[in-house]
Structure 1
Amino acid sequence: MKTETNKPRLLDQVRNAMWLQRMSHSTISTYVDWIKRYIHHHKLRHPAEMGVVEVGQFLTHLVGGRQGVAASTQKQALCALVYLYKHVLKIDLGDISFLRSKRPARLPVVLSRDEVWKVLDNLQGPVWIMAAMMYGCGLRLMECCQLRVQDIDFDRRTVLVRAGKGDKDRYVPLPELVIAPLRQHLSRVAELHRQDLEDGWGAVDMPGAMAKKLPNAPWAYHWQWVFPAPTRYTEKATGIQRRWHLHESALQKQVKAAGTKARIGKRVYPHILRHSFATHWLEDADGAQDIVLPRLQRLLGHYKLETTMVYVHMITPSRVNSPLDRRPARIAA
């Protein structure tokens, strides 16, 4: 197949298309990885030379053997390939026939309240605030990293989560405990932004088409990241220096290290704080589940209530007495 010499390579076309749609860096990376695996599975054939049959074969391959993937993982691969064909190659795949994964979903691991505090006690600075907000607000990792200054409302004690999973906005409560350290942190962010402006930079990356609608907005303080990276980067296309938000790997590494230092016998990572928020919130909530669960669903930003209901199973063991604890008094030691 002949192509123009100046036409970007396929994976670059995918990245550019996703970037223009303001999809997250993690989603772009994940989709590109699945497309690479698809191409390698079919012996480096170009996707344009393949179609619905080859996509179905690849998705079926994922559930075979000893390392069969979960249904959610298979769905992720499907979304990546559908995106490739629909938005980049402009090919309608139609109905795809493949063996669907039936690997059961596993219950998430959660920390006890004491373990959460042991982790937080081994963190400091902006990373402590981020971890505290993930647990106190139920935020996803990237939702926390991508907060803007204007998303924090100290008067209303709320945090606006913009374009969360499913591209939906939602409000979550701002914990009282983080207000003072967050105010102090934002004063340092304001000073950092002032210094960037003095240096002739200070423009932040804007969501969607906001940069065109509000041409002066990228330099405004209220659009800056709540948790900016310590260094600036240079945008290759324009040569403009910008400051990105703190990379998610920084929080991942420090939370993991805090769990190790606290000698917690579980794998500790940022998302476990969100799982712990949901479980502890349900344990503390009063009222019937048909009232409480929809509230938790909104706080977590879940599309389906069934996704939220997994946390009901997390609190059941603590509410049931074991028969071993009912030793008859007459034989008590």
Structure 2
Amino acid sequence: MDSLPQTSPKPTGKKLLDVVRDTIRRKHYSIRTEEAYVNWIRRFILFHGKRHPKDMGAAEVEAFLTHLATEGHVSASTQNQAFSALLFLYRKVLHRELDAPVHALRAKESRHIPAVLTREEVRQVIAQLSGVYQLQARLLYGSGLRLLECLRLRVKDIDFQRRAITVRDTKGNEDRITMLPDSVIEPLKEHLQRVRRLHEEDLAKGYGSVYLPDALDRKYPNASREWIWQYVFPSDRLSTDPRSGVVRRHHLDESGLQKAVRAAARAAGINKRVTCHTFRHSFATHLLENGYDIRTVQELLGHKNVKTTMIYTHVLQRGGLAVRSPLDC
């Protein structure tokens, strides 16, 4: 936004939001984090009449966060993201601490029980999908992957012999290993054969590189064109990287599978709100129903705290499976 404040405390001739972007990229944050942080910082500045953040402090941050909770009705996680963005601004861009603790009115944390499909409902939804979308849905359910974890899989992350998937760039920024379902192995191998042909065609045309984090790109300058680093689910078209300007093939956009899953649930007649994440919820719940212990499920899901995984025990305890209604006694 052209009219927002310019520069950081050390004059650079750049607008503040450009300095924020540069700092985020130097620290190798994801493009999604960059977009979110820049958006929150822009909103913070506009909320306070385009005052420069160096002329504001904890009181203004507190007022903004309170506004988000009381007027914006944002979730606790959204408010926390906004706070993280502002802390990044002050600590990493402006190189100063806030002048006092922030005591904003906190958004109320939600305590929703996740929607879970039965095994039969999972089969019905997946049966309505086809091609690459069906393969992705089978991985979401069969391996407990988040949507972006699935889309960001690279060829080297699939171990057919060990029947394992290494999940990288996770929500908690820690790698984990989960299972590769036997029933997915052959369809996935066939899919990768098609992907490899596509990659070879790209190489022949002078393309064929894939995004790598900056540290890896510098350490292994030729790795971006190697087969093992390619995305398992590449986009059907080349695109220009918004940061580097390099033309390359990114992974598929998440909106495609999201729309396909919603349509599949409607076609299957499922009277529940079904999203891609519902497969992950169902994965965890069905493992617990099969007698696997909570710690095993926690590890497969990549939860740092077992309390996060415990939500699925509440799913198990609700309804007629765990408690017999007095009407039926």
For the criterion TM > 0.5, the same-fold answer is yes
SS of the aligned residue for 1:285 comes to: coil
Q: Which of 206, 213, 235 pairs up with 2:212?
A: 206
Aligned to 1:289: none
Q: Do the aligned partners of residues 7 and 248 (structure 1) sit closer, same or farther apart at CA in structure 2, a change above 3 Å counting? A: farther
Aligned to 1:322: 325
Aligned to 1:109: 115
SS of the aligned residue for 1:259 comes to: helix
Q: Do the aligned partners of residues 30 and 267 (structure 1) sit closer, same or farther apart at CA in structure 2, a change above 3 Å counting? A: farther
Which residues in structure 2 correspond to 1:231-310 (within 5 Å)? Answer: 231-235=237-241, 239-286=245-292, 292-310=293-311
| CA displacement 1:207-240 (0-9 Å, x = unmatched) | 2400111111111000000000000013466553
Structure 1 stretches (4+) deviating beyond 4 angstroms? 1-6, 236-239
SS of the aligned residue for 1:245 comes to: coil
| CA displacement 1:256-293 (0-9 Å, x = unmatched) | 1111222221222111111111111111124xxxxx11
Q: Which of 79, 85, 92 pairs up with 1:87?
A: 92
Contact 1:205 1:218 in 2 (8 A): yes
Contact 2:7 2:16 in 1 (8 A): no
Contact 1:21 1:208 in 2 (8 A): no
Give the drift of 1:324. 1.7
SS of the aligned residue for 1:209 comes to: helix
Aligned to 1:331: none
Give the drift of 1:28. 2.8
Give the drift of 1:105. 2.0
Q: Do the aligned partners of residues 15 and 144 (structure 1) sit closer, same or farther apart at CA in structure 2, a change above 3 Å counting? A: farther
SS of the aligned residue for 1:159 comes to: strand
Q: Note the residue ranges of structure 1 that are not aligned, 5 or more in a row.
A: 287-291, 327-333
Greater CA drift, 186-195 or 264-273: 264-273
The one-letter amino acid of 1:89's match is: L
Greater CA drift, 81-90 or 20-29: 20-29
Q: Which of 17, 29, 32 pairs up with 2:23?
A: 17
Contact 1:122 1:262 in 2 (8 A): yes
SS of the aligned residue for 2:166 comes to: strand
| CA displacement 1:117-171 (0-9 Å, x = unmatched) | 1211111111111111111111111111100000000000000001211210000
Give me the whole-angstrom Cα distance separating, in 2, the residues matched to 1:191 and 1:51. 55
SS of the aligned residue for 1:160 comes to: strand
Greater CA drift, 120-129 or 77-86: 77-86
Give me the whole-angstrom Cα distance separating, in 2, the residues matched to 1:238 and 1:269. 33
- RMSD between superposed Cα atoms in Å: 2.1
Q: Do the aligned partners of residues 21 and 117 (structure 1) sit closer, same or farther apart at CA in structure 2, a change above 3 Å counting? A: farther
Q: TM-score, normalised by structure 2?
A: 0.90
The one-letter amino acid of 1:153's match is: D
Give me the whole-angstrom Cα distance separating, in 2, the residues matched to 1:75 and 1:235. 29
Give me the whole-angstrom Cα distance separating, in 1, the residues matched to 2:6 and 2:259. 46
1:168 aligns with 2:174: yes
Give the drift of 1:6. 7.2
SS of the aligned residue for 2:184 comes to: helix
Greater CA drift, 125-134 or 38-47: 38-47
Aligned sequence identity (%): 47
Aligned to 1:72: 77
SS of the aligned residue for 2:105 comes to: coil
Give me the whole-angstrom Cα distance separating, in 1, the residues matched to 2:128 and 2:24. 37
Aligned to 1:330: none
Contact 2:7 2:19 in 1 (8 A): no
Q: Note the residue ranges of structure 2 that are not aligned, 5 or more in a row.
A: none
Aligned to 2:194: 188
Q: Do the aligned partners of residues 234 and 2 (structure 1) sit closer, same or farther apart at CA in structure 2, a change above 3 Å counting? A: closer
Greater CA drift, 42-51 or 156-165: 42-51
Give me the whole-angstrom Cα distance separating, in 2, the residues matched to 1:3 and 1:276. 49
Give me the whole-angstrom Cα distance separating, in 1, the residues matched to 2:167 and 2:312. 21
Q: Do the aligned partners of residues 303 and 237 (structure 1) sit closer, same or farther apart at CA in structure 2, a change above 3 Å counting? A: closer
The count of aligned residue pairs is: 320
Give me the whole-angstrom Cα distance separating, in 1, the residues matched to 2:105 and 2:117. 36
Give me the whole-angstrom Cα distance separating, in 2, the residues matched to 1:11 and 1:266. 42
Give me the whole-angstrom Cα distance separating, in 1, the residues matched to 2:26 and 2:160. 33
Q: Do the aligned partners of residues 89 and 315 (structure 1) sit closer, same or farther apart at CA in structure 2, a change above 3 Å counting? A: same
